[in-house]
Each structure stands twice: as C-alpha cells, then as structure tokens.
Structure 1
Amino acid sequence: MSRRKILFVDRDGTLIVEPPDFQIDAYEKLALLPGVIGALRRCVDAGYELVMVTNQDGLGTPGFPQDAFDGPHRLMLQLFQSQGVRFADVLIDRSFAHEGLDTRKPGTGLMRAYLADDGWSRADSAMVGDRDTDIAFAANLGVRGFKLDDDVDWNEIAHVLCAAPRRASVERVTRETRVRVRVDLDRRADPVVATGNGFFDHMLEQLGKHGGFALDLTCAGDTHIDEHHTVEDSALALGQALRQALGDKRGIARYGDAALDANDAPATTTIVLPMDETLARAALDLSGRPWFVFDGAYPRERVGDLATEMVPHFFRSLCETLGANLHLAVRGENAHHMVEACFKAVARALRAAIARDGTDLPSTKGAL
C-alpha cells in the first residue's frame, strides 16, 4: 500500500500576504495570496495531506496577543475550508529567533511526531514557503522545497506537484553550433526561439505554439557559412529534448495526424478555402523507430533566409533523435504557405501524439 504524501505549507507570505509589521493581528490585514486556493485544491485532489507549519514571533506576548491572532487565523482556515481546502494539522512556533529553539524553522522540533512516523513518504512530500529558512526546513525534513518568489508562483508549484510535468533540457555542442533547448510538454507558453535565421525562428515557433507545449530554443551557429548546421542541429537537439521529456511514454496517445491549410483551418480533401492554395498532411507515430517520408516539391529554392530543401531535412533529423515515424505531404503554389503549413501540421500531429491518454503504455511490445 502506498504511503501518504504531505504538503507542508508556511503561512505568512505563502498562504496569506505578510504585512510590513509581520503580524496578522487584525481582520483588515488578512488577504490570501493570488492563486493559492486553486493550487491547494489541485494538491488536495492529487492526494496531498496539508500541514501548516509557521513561525509566529512572540505569539501570546503583550506585543502579539493571542486573541488578536486567533480571529484572523480562524477566518483564514474557514475561507480555505469553504473551498474544500482543509489542513490536517496546524503547527505554530511562538519563539523569537534569538532564543534559538529547535521548534523554530528551519529546526524540526515541531515535527517530532512526523519524523517518527513511517506512514508518509518523504520522496513524495514537499514544503512550500517564501523564505530561505523554509527551504532549509524542507532539507532538514527530507522533502522537496519550493520557494515562492517573482519567478515561482502557486500555479507553477501545483503544476510541478500534481501534473507530473514532462520536462527536459538539452545542450548540444559541436564545432559548428551550440544549441540549448528546454521543453515542457504540459505547459503552454509563448515560444522563445533565437537561431540567427529569422524565417527558421518563425517556423520553430509554430512547433511550440501549435504543438501546445512550452519551447525555449537558442542556437549559436555558423550561419556565415549557411543555415545547414543550425537547422540540422536544432532539429537533433529538439528531438532529443522531446524524447527525454516523454520518458517511457506511458500514458500518451502515441499517434497523431493533422491536416492544415496555411491559415490554420482544419482541412480535408473536401474543404475548399478561397485564396489558400496550400494543403499539408502529417501523420506521426512515436514508435521509437525513426523514419521519415516526404511528398512535396517547393516552387522556389528559398523562403526568406531558409533553403526549402532544409525543411524535409529538419524533419528527418527531428525523427532521428525523437524516435518518430513521420509521413509529411504538402501541395500548393506559394512556398511560404507550404513550409509554414508543414510545420503547423507536424505541430498539431505532435500535439495529438503527446497528449495524455490514461496510464497504459500504448504498445503490445511493452516498450516504445
């Protein structure tokens, strides 16, 4: 039987806004942090038990009366409970920092009962706070630590804890290029691409945008020679990152197919779109076996600063490291439309193939 997983949570600055005097001793000082209720609901739904652990300097002294604390604290708990967020335990240390008591975070004196309990999983549990002492507390407790700051909010933390995010970072360095790629298959974000080739950047942006995943790719390449190495190595690095992010591919749809005209409209052989002469079709299998088939011919040799012969070469290289079987076909009259439709069609096919589709491995072989 699996052990419990616990999300330990700081209070001031983590659940509620911390005022300048560091004391929530009046109702008008009580304000929840943005996104905290929705994030904690996700954590509860994912099976986390919530435990609040907070330092309240001098609570119960004349400078911080217990009665002044209790009302706002009780209201806060009621607000969370009304939204389905209930704390199984609330642990409060009342000491001052200069006292040096082990019950004060980052000390774990308050946690003796939990440290003696083998019924919960350290590996699956975590701590969320807003200070370095919270992260040190997490390390002392033996769990992951998350610090809220300008770059990490509650939505991001819930995403990491609950969505089992499929992420990867790859750096590919050769004598000709240096490529860095980061992907997150479970998060949508505006693509960030910089390769030194404007039209190629625009095409890579299509993969992230229409593929439905976060993509950050930079390449410093020998573009003074031509674009070949930049395009090829970007494809190889991107395919490697996607494959790493997919892991064992358990739970993915595996197959994807899409047909798009140049204006993103879903297309079949029966759809007619005025002014848009281009049609691209892509069929994808994340089989682990690289294979690429291309059917098409471009009416001119270049679009912007990208040679059209590099388009099928890009997808062939992508398939090599991704371990994908891709069939891609395009017809049309405008080379710009044709190249863009190819990238968008592959992006939509990839989007379908990487989509979560249960927990099973989509193969009778037992491996992909």
Structure 2
Amino acid sequence: MRKILFVDRDGTLIHEPDDFQIDRFEKIRFVDGMLPALLKLQEAGYSLVMVSNQDGLGTDAFPQITFDGPHQLLMQLLESQGVRFDEVLIDPSLPADNSPNRKPGTGMLRHFLGDDGWSRARSAVIGDRDSDVQLAANLGVRAFRIGPELGWPQIVHALVNAPRTARVERRTKETRIVVDLDLDRAAEPQAHTGLGYFDHMLEQIGKHAGIALTVRCEGDLHVDEHHTVEDCALALGQALRQALEDKRGIGRYGDGDADGGEAGVAAIGAASVRVPMDESHASAALDLSGRPYFVFEGHFPRERVGELPTELVPHFFRSLCETGLMSLHLSVRGENAHHMVEGCFKAVARALRTAVARSGSDLPSTKGAL
C-alpha cells in the first residue's frame, strides 16, 4: 500500500514572509534541511502531495499572476533536484468563506478519503500550523508540525528510521495469545505458553535473531499441544509481517547453520552461522519474499522433547511461513532429538537475523514490492 506525505508549502517547504504571500521571486527561501529530507523520504517509498491554503489568491490583494511565477520556479527547483510531487492542491479561499476545501477541511482530498490503496498508519501530514495538525486528524494519519523543536532531519528520522515494532493479539476459542516484537532492539526474550520446552525454543528465536520478543499464550493444553504451538507460530508470523512494513532496507535473504562438533560462532552475514550442538546439524535458508513456502527435511528419533511433540516442529515453521509470508527451507540431522529441535530454532533465528537487518532504504526486489 502507498505511503503518502501531505506536505504544506509556506512555512514548511519555503519560509513564510511577514505578509504571508510569496508573490515575488526574491521571497523564495528554502526551509533548512527540506531538500535532502524530501529526497530521503522519496527514496524510502513515500509519495508527496502538496496541500496549501493561499488566502485570497486571485483577488486584487493577491493577484494570480504574482503567485504563478514564484510557485512555478519553486516546483522547477524541486524537480531539478529529483523531488516530485504527485499532486499540488491549492485552496484560494479566505477563512470567512468557510470552504470545505480549506485546511483543515478535506474537500481537496476527497479522492484520498475514498481510496483504500494507501496506508493511513504509514502516512502523515507535515506542516507548520494547527490547521495542518487538524488536517492529519481528519485524514486519520500522523502529524508533524515544524517548529523550533522539530525540523526536517527529525521528521526523516521518525519516518525512515523508526523502530520496527508490532503487537499482535490473537484470540480464539482455543488460545489467547499476545506477541510483542521489536526488530531493532535486542532484549532478553520471554515466552510463557505453559509448555516449558516450547518456551525455551521461542526464546531461542528472540535471542539468536537479536530482537526483542515476548510471547504469552493461554491455550487449551487440556486437549493437547497442537493449538498452542500452531497459534503461537501464526501470531509470531503476523507480528513479523507487521513490523517489517514495506521491507525497505532489509537484507531479505538469510541462511543459518547449527552444527554439531564445531566450536565457535562464525560471523553473521552471507556466510553460514554455526552453533555447536554436539552431534546434530540444522540449516535454514530464508527469503522474506511475500510468498509463503516451506520445505523440511529430517526425521526426529523420538516423538517428544519435554511437552513438545516433535511432529509439531515442522508444523510450527510451516505456520510461521503462512502468516509471515516467507519462504523457508529447513533441514536437520542428528541423533539427539533435543539437540536437533533446538538446532532448528537456532538456525532459523540466525537466518532471520540476517534477513531483517536494515541498511539504507532500498527495496530488495526488482518487482518494486515484497
């Protein structure tokens, strides 16, 4: 879904003069940091829409001809540097006219209000007045008001470098689950599902993926373990998908190995990650492709590890792929079922660490979407 920034003009892109009219060329002065900020925001996938009140434009007090020249020069300067606005919406009414098109009214933006192809949660209004803040509220998006304590660099940081977090609450007749996730912060993982060994495995994901992860589940364990394990995977996959948003800047691909008999840990990156698990070996290859697919190779030598049936291990990862919209190839071999299951979770966690790592704002896909 599109991310849109509804951007004010005077006081936001260019400084507003004392008489509130940019009616001469010499009055054009860029707001500090505006140009590199807009370029950065465009690179991060934001579309730009200008929304401006121009009081009395077209009247004797503010002739159209005195506005057009400076405005056209402003647009040419922006376009020459790579900044392009999809739309430029200008309302010429006076406050006394009570026009629905005048900010904070949404009359000029009716076509956006009826369009479900853009994300309200990821869009924002940027301006310098109370009317811009109220416009954001009327549109159901965030507001950034430029002033002494908030400039363009801070806005870019908030929109482009914001922590990727998610909270998912899943409630059915079988389970009640809450997952809290932060992909940009490492913290001691916590899992409370009523299944001790399964808790330990979920904590492996948080620890070795280098993320903050909390999972709480109340499930129908008096029936069996299936619903708890499956629904935790579904909720975790949904949280991953939400936190990743449009996936700009991520590594996308990750691979991880959990090896028996080899001491030490290799560097994280394109090379495989190895964790000693005695005789066992698990490997994972992950693609945050937006397409769910799961391949598993392996056989566990016993039916349970603690309270966790080993048949639910591949089922957990298959369910994770379904809601996380990822492709995962996972294989394991060994003799000790405890080591083998733990190796699977560690290998997937290490692959996930590489795949979600963020650097820059490019989208790692030739399709233009993931």
TM-score relative to the length of structure 1: 0.56
2:230 and 2:350 map into 1 onto residues whose CA distance is 21
Q: Letter of the aligned partner of 2:302 in structure 1? A: R
**What pairs up with 1:135-284 in 2 under 5 angstroms?**
163-261=161-259, 265-266=265-266, 276-284=278-286
Is the aligned partner of 1:341 residue 2:343? Answer: yes
Q: Which residue number in structure 2 is paired with residue 72 of structure 1?
A: none
Q: Which residue number in structure 2 is paired with residue 306 of structure 1?
A: 308
1:272 and 1:218 map into 2 onto residues whose CA distance is 27
How far 1:240 moved relative to its partner?
0.3
Q: Letter of the aligned partner of 1:350 in structure 2? A: L
1:210 and 1:181 map into 2 onto residues whose CA distance is 17
Task: Report how many residues are paired.
Answer: 235
Contact 2:168 2:235 in 1 (8 A): yes
| Gapped regions of structure 1 (runs ≥ 5) | 6-45, 48-121, 127-138, 146-158
2:227 and 2:365 map into 1 onto residues whose CA distance is 35
Go from structure 1 to structure 2 and tell me whether the alpha carbon gap of 1:219 and 1:264 turns closer, same or farther (over 3 Å shift): farther
Match of residue 319, structure 1, among 321, 324, 330: 321
1:245 and 1:344 map into 2 onto residues whose CA distance is 21
1:231 and 1:125 map into 2 onto residues whose CA distance is 47
Contact 1:260 1:266 in 2 (8 A): no
Q: Letter of the aligned partner of 2:198 in structure 1? A: F
TM-superposition CA deviations, 1:291-339 (whole Å, max 9, x none): 0000111111100110000000000000000000000001111110000
Q: Which residue number in structure 1 is paired with residue 366 of structure 2?
A: 364
Contact 1:292 1:327 in 2 (8 A): yes
Q: Letter of the aligned partner of 2:296 in structure 1? A: F
1:200 and 1:264 map into 2 onto residues whose CA distance is 25
User: Percent identity, aligned pairs only?
Assistant: 65
How far 1:260 moved relative to its partner?
1.6
Q: Letter of the aligned partner of 1:224 in structure 2? A: H
1:261 and 1:187 map into 2 onto residues whose CA distance is 27
How far 1:166 moved relative to its partner?
0.6
Q: Letter of the aligned partner of 2:299 in structure 1? A: A
How far 1:358 moved relative to its partner?
2.0
Contact 2:175 2:218 in 1 (8 A): yes
2:340 and 2:228 map into 1 onto residues whose CA distance is 21
**What pairs up with 1:28-107 in 2 under 5 angstroms?**
none
Contact 1:163 1:186 in 2 (8 A): no
How far 1:143 moved relative to its partner?
6.2
How far 1:161 moved relative to its partner?
8.0
How far 1:123 moved relative to its partner?
5.3
Q: Which residue number in structure 2 is paired with residue 24 of structure 1?
A: none
How far 1:226 moved relative to its partner?
1.0
Q: Letter of the aligned partner of 1:344 in structure 2? A: K
How far 1:163 moved relative to its partner?
3.3
1:264 and 1:173 map into 2 onto residues whose CA distance is 41
TM-score relative to the length of structure 2: 0.56
Match of residue 355, structure 1, among 354, 357, 370: 357
Contact 1:232 1:313 in 2 (8 A): yes
Q: Which residue number in structure 1 is paired with residue 295 of structure 2?
A: 293
Q: Letter of the aligned partner of 1:339 in structure 2? A: V
Contact 2:254 2:355 in 1 (8 A): yes
Go from structure 1 to structure 2 and tell me whether the alpha carbon gap of 1:280 and 1:338 turns closer, same or farther (over 3 Å shift): same
Per the alignment, in what secondary structure is the counterpart of residue 245 of structure 1? helix
1:167 and 1:205 map into 2 onto residues whose CA distance is 17
Q: Letter of the aligned partner of 2:227 in structure 1? A: H
Go from structure 1 to structure 2 and tell me whether the alpha carbon gap of 1:224 and 1:347 turns closer, same or farther (over 3 Å shift): same
Per the alignment, in what secondary structure is the counterpart of residue 336 of structure 1? helix
Q: Letter of the aligned partner of 1:249 in structure 2? A: K
Per the alignment, in what secondary structure is the counterpart of residue 208 of structure 1? helix
Q: Letter of the aligned partner of 2:236 in structure 1? A: L
Q: Letter of the aligned partner of 2:265 in structure 1? A: A
Match of residue 330, structure 2, among 317, 328, 331: 328
1:243 and 1:317 map into 2 onto residues whose CA distance is 13
2:241 and 2:264 map into 1 onto residues whose CA distance is 26
Go from structure 1 to structure 2 and tell me whether the alpha carbon gap of 1:224 and 1:362 turns closer, same or farther (over 3 Å shift): same
Per the alignment, in what secondary structure is the counterpart of residue 260 of structure 1? strand
TM-superposition CA deviations, 1:273-292 (whole Å, max 9, x none): 7x811111000000011000
Contact 1:277 1:332 in 2 (8 A): yes
| Gapped regions of structure 2 (runs ≥ 5) | 13-35, 38-123, 129-136, 146-156
Query: Which stretch shows the higher mean deviation, 259-268 or 163-172?
Result: 259-268
Per the alignment, in what secondary structure is the counterpart of residue 348 of structure 1? helix
Structure 1: 4+ residue segments shifted above 3 A: 1-5, 122-126, 142-145, 159-163, 262-269
Per the alignment, in what secondary structure is the counterpart of residue 232 of structure 2? helix
Go from structure 1 to structure 2 and tell me whether the alpha carbon gap of 1:248 and 1:161 turns closer, same or farther (over 3 Å shift): closer
Contact 1:284 1:327 in 2 (8 A): yes
Go from structure 1 to structure 2 and tell me whether the alpha carbon gap of 1:124 and 1:214 turns closer, same or farther (over 3 Å shift): farther
Contact 1:291 1:316 in 2 (8 A): yes
